[in-house]
Chains A and B, each alone.
Chain A
Amino acid sequence: MKIKDFSGIRNNGSLPDPQDVHIPGDSEDMLDDYVESANSMLDEIEQAALAYEAGNNSKENVAAIRRLLHKIKGESSMMGAAEISEFCHQAEFAFEELDDNQRPDMLLRFKDWVDTAMSDLAGRA
């Protein structure tokens, strides 16, 4: 499968359609667990991003964001959701590249995209 281009998260460019994410058949029976886990982490990312925007760029908050992005990437990878895993990978890059002012917007954009993808996947379960 050709991996789509998610580099738009790094420069505020366009992103692929979140409602067109592929999940292999042998993972489908774990889809509910995956969506539930991802949604919980997306909530945490949103909280962390809003705190960041309000000035909390502490080591702890930064570490929490890195850990969440990495964990969503790991779970997506194990589920065979290569597109979401790649999107997380690009978001990890973006987080390191962007400055303090740009990071919260990128994280919220990331959250919205994955949120939409998860809603779409939940509908398929």
Chain B
Amino acid sequence: MAWNILIVDDSSLTRKRIRRIIEMADLDIGEFLDAENGEEALKILEDSPVDLVLSDLNMPKMGGAEMVQRMKSREATKSIPVVVISTESKTSRLTKLLAEGVRDYLHKPFTPEEFKETMQTLWAKPETNTSNLLAQALVQSLETMALVTAVPVDDDMVVPEETVLAQIDFSGAKKGAIQMLAGMDLCGILAENIAALDTINDQAALDALKELSNVTCGLFLPLVVSSTADVFDITVPKVATCDNAPQWTEFVADGNTFVLNIEGHAIAARLTVEDAAMTTETN
């Protein structure tokens, strides 16, 4: 299938250069369209069939983040993949955008080979929206069970040095795992709120994260499969303690991972999911 690509950037030179790089990547590309800002892009999306949006973030009138939000709120545009092209390195802003439905990002400048690699990943991994659903399930668990408020990440958020990891494996129509990573401080708050404990120790903090992971998984799974489909076998969570920030850095490195801010503390969740049918074929 030849893809129609919409390039959104306030610099005509950059749009031209991006187009040139894409042409050099030797992929099956249909028509190129371009827009100077998010507002113009949304108008084009109303009238033209577009298979992929490549967008800058900082643009006058309407930037890339607002454009993505509006695309996701409209039935006709919500499933069109968006790849952000930015001079920013991996920042909390990009992490948030990935959690909100941006499929990937390319750092300026990028080569034809890097573009090709990104497209191949995009084509090989159709959007499932499960990451957003998992985010919703986690927010719901946190707000109802742990009585804390989850807000988007910001620069003031504390990234913990001592982290705890909980993992839930599930199988059935879909097979995969949900992992959650949080600092010991946040786990202490969770333990206090969930179990109303007077004394918080390390074990109580670990148990609270496991409990939260279980509830989140229970809320998430019905969202991604038919309620009549299968019974899911959820294994007993295993817990690993991690003692430094590099683990955290790894955890925020892909589109299926998102980070929430709980009263200044970071909590991250990562989803890996595959179709059981596909697994059977592979086996």
Please give the residue numbers on chain A whose beta carbons come within 8 Å of chain B beta carbons, in ascending order.
26-27, 30, 33-34, 37, 67, 70-71, 73-75, 77-80, 85
> Cβ of B87 and Cβ of A71 under 8 Å apart?
no
* Given A30-B13, A80-B109: A74 in contact with B20 (beta carbons within 8 A): no
Q: CA of A30 to CA of B13 in the docked complex: distance in angstroms?
A: 8
Q: CA of A96 to CA of B11 in the docked complex: distance in angstroms?
A: 23
Residue of A nearest to B17 (CB): A78
Residue of B nearest to A80 (CB): B109
> Cβ of B87 and Cβ of A73 under 8 Å apart?
yes
Q: List 23 A-B contacts (CB under 8 A).
A: A26-B24, A27-B17, A30-B13, A30-B17, A30-B20, A33-B13, A33-B16, A34-B13, A70-B58, A73-B87, A74-B9, A74-B11, A74-B108, A75-B11, A75-B14, A75-B17, A77-B108, A77-B109, A78-B11, A78-B14, A79-B13, A79-B17, A85-B87
> Cβ of A74 and Cβ of B16 under 8 Å apart?
no
Size category of the B interface is 10 to 19
Q: CA of A33 to CA of B17 in the docked complex: distance in angstroms?
A: 10
> Cβ of B109 and Cβ of A37 under 8 Å apart?
no
> Cβ of B11 and Cβ of A77 under 8 Å apart?
no
* B51 CB–A CB distance under 8 Å: no
Q: Chain A CB within 10 Å — which of B16, B17, B24 has the most?
A: B17
> Cβ of B60 and Cβ of A67 under 8 Å apart?
yes
Q: CA of A30 to CA of B109 in the docked complex: distance in angstroms?
A: 15
Task: Write out the residue numbers on chain B whose beta carbons fall within 8 Å of the beta carbon of A75.
Answer: 11, 13-14, 17
Task: Write out the residue numbers on chain A whose beta carbons fall within 8 Å of the beta carbon of B11.
Answer: 37, 71, 74-75, 78
Q: CA of A33 to CA of B58 in the docked complex: distance in angstroms?
A: 21
* Given A33-B13, A71-B10: A78 in contact with B58 (beta carbons within 8 A): no
* B34 CB–A CB distance under 8 Å: no
- Could you tell me the distance in whole angstroms from the C-beta of B5 to the nearest C-beta in chain A? 16
Q: CA of A77 to CA of B88 in the docked complex: distance in angstroms?
A: 11
Q: CA of A80 to CA of B17 in the docked complex: distance in angstroms?
A: 10
Task: Write out the residue numbers on chain A whose beta carbons fall within 8 Å of the beta carbon of B60.
Answer: 67
Task: Write out the residue numbers on chain A whose beta carbons fall within 8 Å of the beta carbon of B58.
Answer: 67, 70
* B84 CB–A CB distance under 8 Å: no
* B18 CB–A CB distance under 8 Å: yes
> Cβ of A37 and Cβ of B87 under 8 Å apart?
no
Q: CA of A74 to CA of B59 in the docked complex: distance in angstroms?
A: 11
Task: Write out the residue numbers on chain B whose beta carbons fall within 8 Å of the beta carbon of A85.
Answer: 87
> Cβ of B108 and Cβ of A78 under 8 Å apart?
yes
- Could you tell me the distance in whole angstroms from the C-beta of B173 to the nearest C-beta in chain A? 44
- Could you tell me the distance in whole angstroms from the C-beta of B69 to the nearest C-beta in chain A? 21
- Could you tell me the distance in whole angstroms from the C-beta of A13 to the nearest C-beta in chain B? 24
Q: CA of A114 to CA of B9 in the docked complex: distance in angstroms?
A: 22
* B207 CB–A CB distance under 8 Å: no
Residue of A nearest to B107 (CB): A77
* B56 CB–A CB distance under 8 Å: yes
- Could you tell me the distance in whole angstroms from the C-beta of A31 to the nearest C-beta in chain B? 11
- Could you tell me the distance in whole angstroms from the C-beta of A91 to the nearest C-beta in chain B? 13
Residue of B nearest to A33 (CB): B13
Task: Write out the residue numbers on chain B whose beta carbons fall within 8 Å of the beta carbon of A27.
Answer: 17
Residue of B nearest to A38 (CB): B13
- Could you tell me the distance in whole angstroms from the C-beta of A72 to the nearest C-beta in chain B? 9
Q: CA of A67 to CA of B60 in the docked complex: distance in angstroms?
A: 8
Q: CA of A78 to CA of B87 in the docked complex: distance in angstroms?
A: 9
